[in-house]
Structure 1
Amino acid sequence: MDPVVVALAKAAGLEKALAEFPDDVAVAAAQAMNNAGVVHMPSDPAAEPWPPMRAGLGL
């Protein structure tokens, strides 16, 4: 497995998943890396990509 993926999984606290399901961790990492280009950073850092999550709004 890619050492970067192992390091990221450990940094995320996924040691148990890495030990028990290394194939699943590798597939999830590959899927995340393949979709990273789809996520666009907002031009305004204060902008939220979705409406604020407050109870009662829009209900």
Structure 2
Amino acid sequence: MGNFVVMGQKLAGFLMMKGFKLHALEQNRKDTRKHVFIFTTSIELEKAIEEYKAMGR
């Protein structure tokens, strides 16, 4: 499977709390003061992201 890049720390934390493993942490190329969080793409990951969005975050 491919990689899914998360730009926001809150969403990344939510996903890790749900049990998704952080695949990599890299420096944001557009803003070097920030990081991007890389997860492995899956149906379950997409469902968790939709759940996060539904919470209004």
- TM-score higher than 0.5: no
TM-score in terms of structure 2 length: 0.35
The structure richer in helix per residue is 1
TM-score in terms of structure 1 length: 0.34
Structure of greater Rg? 1
